[in-house]
């Protein structure tokens, strides 16, 4: 199911990109190539077809993306990236035990300076 949805999304993306590139921002698009009056689709009909195609593909892309998100359940198991010693310390502290205490550092004695000359 996952692979089918991914393939459909890729196909829809390619088609959507093609339709958007065909359109002319000034309203010409495909109609600029047809100058005869005896064409099957008129200027307005070509623009309407491209606009409807863009909307249909955009909506289908959103629906397919949501369907893909729903069909994938939670991904995979999370990998443990914590080293074993840290994992044991976390387990001890979560159970109420304390971690082994480290001794406090001893203060360094600085010899007093002699006053006077």
Which is more confidently placed, 116 or 69? 69
pTM of the model: 0.49
pLDDT value at 50 more than 90: no
Alpha helices in the chain (DSSP H): 2-22, 43-71, 84-94
How do the domains of the chain map onto residue ranges? 2-27+44-71
Average pLDDT over residues 57-65: 94
Report the alpha-carbon distance of residue 104 to residue 100 in Å, rounded.
Answer: 12
Query: Which residues, 6+ apart, have CB-to-CB distance to 2 below 8 Å?
Result: 68, 71, 72
pLDDT value at 9 more than 90: yes
Q: For 86-114, what is each residue's pLDDT tens digit? A: 888 888 887 765 555 666 667 777 777 77
Q: What is the 3-state secondary structure (H, E, C) of 9-31?
A: HHHHHHHHHHHHHHCCCCCCHHH
């Amino acid at each position: 199911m996952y692979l089918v949805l991914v393939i459909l999304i890729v196909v829809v993306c390619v088609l959507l990109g093609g339709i958007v590139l065909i359109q002319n921002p000034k309203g010409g698009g495909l109609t600029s190539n047809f100058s005869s009056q005896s064409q099957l689709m008129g200027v307005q009909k070509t623009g309407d077809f491209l606009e409807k195609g863009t909307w249909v593909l955009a909506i289908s892309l959103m629906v397919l993306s949501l369907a893909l998100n729903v069909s994938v359940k939670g991904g995979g198991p999370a990998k443990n990236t914590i080293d074993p010693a840290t994992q044991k310390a976390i387990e001890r502290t979560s159970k109420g035990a304390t971690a082994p205490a480290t001794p406090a550092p001893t203060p360094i004695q600085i010899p007093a300076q002699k006053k006077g000359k």
